[in-house]
C-alpha cells in the first residue's frame, strides 16, 4: 500500500468523495463511513468527519503534523445513485492499494464533472411520467397525456431555475402546472384521458422517494439529526406538491375552493 505523505491531498480526496456522495443523494452514515475509510489510510491518530445534509467538517490531526480541517458547504442536491456507486468503487480500490492517492483524486475530479446531458434528463422526466401513468393503471391515452404534461413539467422546472425560485416554490409552481395541464388534456374533445392518472404519473418525478428512504436508513443507523433533517426535507417537498396540485385544480375548477 502507498505510503501517504501528502496529507492535504488525502484530506481533499476524502472531502471530494464525501461531497460527490452527499450532493447525489447518499445517506449521511455512508458518506461519513467513506470519508473515514479514506482518511484511515494515513494511519494518523485523529480522523474525524461530521456530515449533515447541507455540509461537512473533516479533520486530520496527529502529534507529528499540524492539524488540518476542511469545512464544505453543499448547496445543491440531486439523486444520482450511479455516482455514489462509482465513488464507493474508487474509495475501495484506493483503500485496497489498487490505485494511488493521486489517481484516486484524479478519478474523483473526473467523476464530479461527469453529468448526463440536459436533453437526456429532460427526456427521462417525460418517459418516467408516461411510464408511471401506465404502471398505475392508466391507458395508452393517459400515458400520452402524462408525457405531454411531463414536457410542461420540464419547461416549468427550467423556468424556475432561470428565475431563481427556491426549491419549495419551484415544486409548488411545477405541481400547479401539472394539475392545470392534466385538466386541460382531459377536456380535449374526442379523447378519453383520465385526469387523475395524468396527474399521478407526472408528479412522480417530483416525489421525494430517495429522501424518505435515506431518512429511514439514517434513523435506523442512530443518526437522528440526519434522519430528522431528511424526513423534514421530504415532508416539505410533499407539502409543496400537494399545495401546487390543489391550487392548479382550484384555478381550473377541478375542486371546490
pLDDT in tens, the chain (257 residues): 556 678 889 999 999 999 999 999 899 999 999 999 999 988 888 889 999 888 999 999 888 888 889 999 988 888 888 899 999 999 999 999 899 999 999 999 988 776 778 888 899 999 999 999 999 988 999 999 999 999 999 999 999 988 888 889 999 999 999 999 999 998 888 888 889 999 999 999 999 888 898 899 889 988 898 889 889 989 999 999 999 999 999 988 865 44
Do 90 and 123 share a structural domain?
no
> Do 98 and 134 lie in a common domain?
no
Amino acid 255: pLDDT: 54
**Domain end point (choices 51, 84, 110):** 110
Residue pair 59/67 in contact (Cβ under 8 Å)? The answer is yes
b/e 9-29 (16+ beta carbons within 10 angstroms → b): ebbbbbbbbbbbbbbbbbbbb
Residues 126 and 70 in one domain: no
For the chain, the domain total comes to 2
Same domain, 43 and 98: yes
Residue 18 lies in a domain: yes
Whether 1 is in a domain gets the answer no
pLDDT of residue 81: 87
Given this model, what pLDDT does residue 257 score?
43
Q: Give me the DSSP letters along 130-148.
A: HHHHHHTT--HHHHHHHHH
Q: Is 256 helix (H, G, I), strand (E, B) or coil?
A: coil
With respect to residue 24, please indicate whether it lies within any of the assigned structural domains. yes
pLDDT of residue 2: 59
Residue 122 and residue 94 share a domain: no
| CB neighbour class for 114 (10 Å; exposed up to 12, middle 13-18, buried from 19) | exposed
On whether both 44 and 166 belong to a single domain, the answer is: no
| Structural domain of 214 | 118-252
Domain assignment of residue 257, yes or no: no
62 and 167 part of one domain:
no
Amino acid at each position: 500500500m502507498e505510503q501517504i505523505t501528502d496529507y492535504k491531498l488525502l484530506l481533499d480526496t476524502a472531502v471530494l468523495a464525501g461531497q460527490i456522495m452527499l450532493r447525489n443523494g447518499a445517506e449521511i452514515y455512508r458518506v461519513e463511513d467513506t470519508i473515514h475509510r479514506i482518511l484511515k489510510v494515513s494511519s494518523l491518530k485523529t480522523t474525524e468527519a461530521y456530515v449533515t445534509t447541507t455540509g461537512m467538517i473533516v479533520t486530520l490531526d496527529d502529534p507529528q503534523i499540524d492539524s488540518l480541517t476542511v469545512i464544505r458547504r453543499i448547496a445543491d442536491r440531486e439523486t444520482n445513485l450511479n455516482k455514489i456507486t462509482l465513488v464507493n468503487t474508487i474509495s475501495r480500490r484506493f483503500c485496497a492499494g489498487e490505485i494511488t492517492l493521486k489517481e484516486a483524486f484524479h478519478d474523483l475530479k473526473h467523476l464530479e464533472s461527469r453529468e448526463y446531458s440536459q436533453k437526456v434528463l429532460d427526456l427521462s422526466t417525460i418517459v418516467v411520467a408516461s411510464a408511471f401513468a401506465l404502471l398505475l393503471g392508466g391507458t395508452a391515452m393517459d400515458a400520452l397525456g402524462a408525457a405531454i404534461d411531463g414536457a410542461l413539467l420540464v419547461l416549468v422546472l427550467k423556468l424556475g431555475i432561470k428565475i431563481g425560485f427556491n426549491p419549495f416554490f419551484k415544486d409548488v409552481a411545477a405541481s400547479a402546472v401539472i394539475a392545470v395541464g392534466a385538466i386541460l388534456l382531459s377536456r380535449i374533445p374526442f379523447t378519453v384521458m383520465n385526469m387523475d392518472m395524468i396527474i399521478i404519473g407526472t408528479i412522480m418525478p417530483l416525489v421525494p422517494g430517495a429522501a424518505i428512504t435515506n431518512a429511514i436508513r439514517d434513523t435506523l443507523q442512530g443518526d437522528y439529526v440526519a434522519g430528522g433533517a431528511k424526513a423534514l426535507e421530504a415532508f416539505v417537498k410533499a407539502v409543496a406538491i400537494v399545495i401546487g396540485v390543489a391550487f392548479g385544480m382550484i384555478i381550473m375548477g377541478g375542486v371546490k375552493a
